[in-house]
Structure 1
Amino acid sequence: MEPSENADRMAAFRNKIIGLGETSHRKSYYPQLRDQIRELNQAMLALQESENKYRSLVENVNIGIIQTEPWDDGRVIQANPAFCRMLGVNDEDELLDRPAVDMYLYPEARLELLKELEREGRIKDRNVVFKVKDGSTIMCSVSLSAQYDINGNMILVDVVAEDITEKEQRSEALRQANNKLNLLSSITRHDITNQVMILEGYLYLVMERVEDPDILMLLERMKVNVKSIDRHVMFAKDYQEIGIQAPQWVDLMDTLTGAMVSIDRTLIDLHIDVMDYSVFTDPMIKKVFYNLASNVIKHSNATNLTITTEEEGNNLLVVFQDDGIGIADKKRLFKKGSSSSGYGLFLSKEILSITGIGIRETGVPGEGARFEIVFSPGQYKTSV
């Protein structure tokens, strides 16, 4: 706002309060008005300072800020320099009074945003594509908020836009590189697995024809090493899949039930008694649940496995408790080792760490193993 405009506004307020011109003899009867005028001057100066700071902020940030009318053919009312640079225009005048929809590569995108804004009152971090003056396009992450009149009608739309074109291009290049690596890894694993199967078959054929105990012992060791190679290949496959899918909310009971489908119920009595929770996690958590149950069957000599939920302070515990021999040496738990259980527990911890979920073993040796998966606040909620 120009200084002359500010002075005019102050004079208008002054005259409105006094009700008389500066030369009126009656103003001497109202000395309190001088105090009101002084307070008014201070308020106007504070308002001017606030407006200057706001304009300075809007004009100097590197984030695009625009204001538009809220209807379908609404026009641009204000645009800061950063947004003008993003669209390749010289200044704000090239955008003012233009339909805001003209900036969008896909006009329907703005209409959808307006409908959602009317419902929600605010939109955060939505990707849209804007048209640049030279004919190119940019990808922007936009956040929208609305201003309303005293009757609750939307009168203005404030838009904050960040150019994420380069970020998206880098992300896409990274995705393509990962896809190529995953494809190469998949082909390599497939070829190795085929060769392992052939080698294992030849070993069986040779062992059927050999009677020398010393040679048979060597062949048995070779067979163990071949199986170890196969485990390494399978571990590489599972580890590669961690983090590929975005974390999501899953129903705890459904996920546990699905993970236990492959468990042989003739080898263990399985009891699932969990409350209605949803948890935020990598979808591979099914692998965690399966690994914990499978380890009980392979290593604990247990006859029962009970899976329950408990709340500990603000945390949710999903507890796997068996009635087996327990775990005496806990130092190597969750470390990548040469045994299948070592790989399984290490893999489980890595899967859970994607979303910051903890896992620990708190059982008493001789009284069974007790694995606790720890969900912190924000990582779980009661199912509706």
Structure 2
Amino acid sequence: MAFGKKDKNENEPDTNNVDPSLRTHAEEQLARTKTNAPDFAGHTPEELIHELQVHQIELETQAEELRQAYRALEESRDKYLDLYEFAPLGYLTLSDKGIICEVNLTGAALLGFVRKDLIRARFSTFVTESDGDTWYRYFKKVQDLEGKQVCALSLMRGDGSVFPARLECIRIPGTRDGPPTVRVAVNDITDLRRAGDALRISNKKLNLLSGITRHDINNQLFTINAYLEIIRKNISDPSVQKDFARITAASDRMAKIILFTKEYEQVGAKDPAWQNCHFLVDRAARQADPGNVLVKNDLPAGLEIFADPLVAKVFYNLIDNAARHGGKITTIRFFFQEAGELCIIVCEDDGDGVAADEKELIFER
């Protein structure tokens, strides 16, 4: 009989590299869940070893699949982390008290601080004093309402400089793991403000030029009409009088075109707003003065549209054109009808209408 160190069987599990704490944890777990030992009767040692080896391979395969899934999750996390950190907008997470809990690199750069110095700081400290009340009301609105809320205000950087910002916030309900939070997206709209200011200045200059031009043309038209009237009174030939009438009508059309340019330059000059359609129709009917034509306003009193204030001119023109060119017209009616998700405002009348062969010419100059 030979004595000495026993050679290790290649089929025996290698326990040298196993963390002792893992084995202790496994033994404790086995003790807590221990059931009756399985019956190995009728199985040879070779069969049992074979089953253990198959089970070992199954466990190793599952472990490799878990490692691959973990690596894929890490890669996905890193990709979306980069998108979050280097997004063109500043992203912050605030507590329900307005304390900064998280901020991406863009947000830290916008506010002019190192990220670690922003954590646990109150967001309100970066709001300018003049917009403090606006921020307070807005933050309360975000917490009280569902969905995204938008606000524009001025923020102050760490160096004291101020920039206009657009904020989009949404409240995230609390869970068992934590209280509710508020997600904030901050966009520096300095360039947008500058472009808007430049556009307004440009429009102001163009409107000034067009106003002076209209004034000069109207003066010349007034002079032309005055001389035409003097000449007309000195000529008694009926055939010539008809020509004067045509000239005067052409002059009146020119005056109307010039007036239209004054109205058109106001398009977009004011921000769109919610407007009551029922009120707009009533006012247009009074201003247009359609004579004996009845204007029936069947629009609901609460029906509103979000549009340029000049939409009032649309209702006026509909009534005025129908009354002027409707022939034997007696009634103009406004009502609305639903078409799926759309609400359509309808204007109809019982007048003669436009001849079929002239309808294609309505929108031609």
User: One fold, TM greater than 0.5?
Assistant: yes
| Closer, same or farther: CA 310–78 of 1 in aligned 2, 3 Å | closer
Residue in structure 1 matched with residue 125 of structure 2 by the alignment: 102
Q: Structure 1 residue aligned with 2:196, among 171, 178, 191? A: 171
Matches within 5 A, 1:112-131: 112-131=137-156
Q: Identity over the aligned pairs, expressed in percent? A: 25
Greater Rg over alpha carbons, structure: 2
Count the aligned residue pairs: 317
CA contact (8 A) 1:65 1:160 kept: yes
| Closer, same or farther: CA 295–157 of 1 in aligned 2, 3 Å | closer
Paired AA for residue 127 in structure 1: A
Counterpart Cα distance in 1 of 2:123 and 2:255 = 60
1:2-49 deviation line (CA, Å, top 9, x unaligned): xxxxxxxxx9xx98xx9x6245593694899x98x9799899778756
Counterpart Cα distance in 1 of 2:92 and 2:347 = 54
CA contact (8 A) 2:332 2:349 kept: yes
1:305-328 deviation line (CA, Å, top 9, x unaligned): 231425364354433333333321
Residue in structure 2 matched with residue 8 of structure 1 by the alignment: none
Shift of residue 65, structure 1, vs aligned partner: 0.9
Shift of residue 165, structure 1, vs aligned partner: 1.0
TM-align CA RMSD: 3.7
Residues 1:323 and 2:347 aligned together: no
Q: Structure 1 residue aligned with 2:108, among 50, 74, 84? A: 84
Counterpart Cα distance in 2 of 1:321 and 1:97 = 63
Counterpart Cα distance in 2 of 1:225 and 1:94 = 73
More displaced 10-residue stretch of structure 1: 131-140 or 168-177: 131-140
Matches within 5 A, 1:357-368: none
Does the residue aligned with 2:96 lie in a helix, a strand or coil?
coil
Matches within 5 A, 1:223-242: 223-242=248-267
Does the residue aligned with 1:222 lie in a helix, a strand or coil?
helix
Bigger share in strand: 1
Shift of residue 268, structure 1, vs aligned partner: 2.0
| Closer, same or farther: CA 296–336 of 1 in aligned 2, 3 Å | same
Residue in structure 1 matched with residue 83 of structure 2 by the alignment: 57
TM-score w.r.t. length of structure 1: 0.69
1:213-239 deviation line (CA, Å, top 9, x unaligned): 565455444323322220220121222
Residue in structure 2 matched with residue 362 of structure 1 by the alignment: none
Runs of 4+ aligned structure 1 residues displaced above 4 Å come to 27-32, 37-51, 150-155, 212-218
Shift of residue 92, structure 1, vs aligned partner: 1.2
Paired AA for residue 93 in structure 1: K
More displaced 10-residue stretch of structure 1: 49-58 or 95-104: 49-58
Determine which structure has greater relative contact order: mean sequence separation of CA pairs < 8 Å that are 6+ residues apart, divided by chain length.
Answer: 1
Paired AA for residue 82 in structure 2: S
Counterpart Cα distance in 1 of 2:181 and 2:336 = 49
| Closer, same or farther: CA 113–123 of 1 in aligned 2, 3 Å | farther
Counterpart Cα distance in 2 of 1:130 and 1:290 = 44
| Closer, same or farther: CA 233–86 of 1 in aligned 2, 3 Å | same
Structure 2 stretches of 5 or more lacking a match? 1-18, 36-51
Counterpart Cα distance in 2 of 1:49 and 1:128 = 37
